[in-house]
Amino acid sequence: MNKQIKSKILLVGCGKMGSALLSGWLDQKIGGPNICVIEPQKSNLDTFLSHGVTLYNKLDDLELHYEPDLVLFAVKPQMMDEIIPAYKCFSGKSAFISIAAGKSITYFETKLGKHNAIIRAMPNTPAAVRRGITVACGNISVRKQVQETCIALLTAVGEVRWLDDENLIDAVTAISGSGPAYVFLLTETMLLAGMEAGLDRKLATELAVKTVAGSGEVLRQSSENISILRENVTSPGGTTEAALSVLMGKNGMQKLISKAVNKAIKRSKALDG
């Protein structure tokens, strides 16, 4: 058992992010028997049972008088209005963490009561391989111990940064929350361009995937400025420079990514309320 975490945790929603978190906790020996999960599609979660985790289809199935220290919401933001009112039964007893995109701390304070400790966190899917990055922030009711527990839980799947300014979470969502999709899209576009240039799908896929993964590892290990890493691949008058003249042109990647990020920020704000 992880000494840091003795809290009783109720995980609500065990889809992609919920199961990534849960498996990270179990890997870190963060108390299986202290974890209850509510997930309607629990047929594919049997592997967690051997760690002592208890799975339920719905909140009503929980034992009478069960009181978690922490309730972590990992359901879609669009589901939140429907599911949240029932969790008011833990108001004043539990701290609440939400990883839902767009849903603000005020949203949860309104639904659950302002006096509750509420943490809003934004992880990302590399959490599934313990290489996520999560940014979190909390309301004034979050005491040090709850904050530390929350950070320890999120650290089980990668790195954690704490923000004092919740307004920045929409930007975080647009960069690191949605970011893995941008990188996967880049990989897809590279492989398709490779095929257009005559490579077969298998080789084009291998080249695109290994290039993106290898470059990611270089980024992770290097302390060099990112622009220098790029310049190191770019000989004057060479092939990379020719390609970058397009990607870094007037309507190139910077403009496109900024536009995409702004659209994600707008969507994040629109999901609130």
Ligand X SMILES: NC(=O)c1ccc[n+]([C@@H]2O[C@H](COP(=O)([O-])OP(=O)(O)OC[C@H]3O[C@@H](n4cnc5c(N)ncnc54)[C@H](OP(=O)(O)O)[C@@H]3O)[C@@H](O)[C@H]2O)c1
Q: Using the rule CB under 6 A, is 75 a contact of ligand X?
A: yes
If the CB atoms of residues 76 and 255 are measured against ligand X, the closer one turns out to be 76
Alpha helices in the chain (DSSP H): 16-27, 46-49, 80-83, 105-112, 144-155, 169-172, 179-196, 201-221, 226-232, 239-247, 253-270
- Shortest distance (Å) from residue 74 CB to ligand X: 5
Q: Is 6 in the site for ligand X (CB under 6 A)?
A: no
**Which range of residues in 12-20, 46-54, 152-160, 196-204 is near ligand X by CB under 6 A?**
12-20
Kindly state whether residue 76 participates in binding ligand X, applying the rule CB under 6 A.
yes
Q: Indicate the DSSP class of residue 183.
A: H
Binding ligand X by CB under 6 A: which of 5, 12, 26, 95?
12
Residue 94 CB, shortest distance to ligand X, in Å, is 16
Structure token pair of residue 142: 């979050």
Minimum distance from residue 185 beta carbon to ligand X (Å): 14
Identify whether the C-beta of residue 77 lies closer than 8 Å to the C-beta of residue 101: yes
Nearer to ligand X, 138 or 194 (CB): 138
Q: CA-CA distance, 215 to 222, in Å (whole number)?
A: 10
Picking from 117, 156, 167, the residue whose alpha carbon sits closest to that of residue 17 is: 156
260 binds ligand X (CB under 6 A): no
- Give the integer Cα–Cα distance in Å for 99 and 136: 9
Residue 124 engages ligand X in binding (rule: CB under 6 A): yes
Instruction: Quote the least distance from Cβ 225 to ligand X, whole Å.
Output: 28
Which region among 117-125, 154-162, 197-205, 236-244 touches ligand X (by CB under 6 A)?
Answer: 117-125
- Which one of 40, 92, 214, 252 is in contact with ligand X (CB under 6 A)? 40
Shorter beta-carbon distance to ligand X: residue 119 or 204:
119
Bridge partners, 104 (sequence order): none
| Burial (CB count <10 Å: 0-12, 13-18, 19+), residue 209 | middle
Query: Max CA-CA distance within the chain?
Result: 72
Residue numbers at the binding site for ligand X (CB under 6 A): 12-18, 38-41, 74-77, 79, 83, 99-101, 122-125, 177
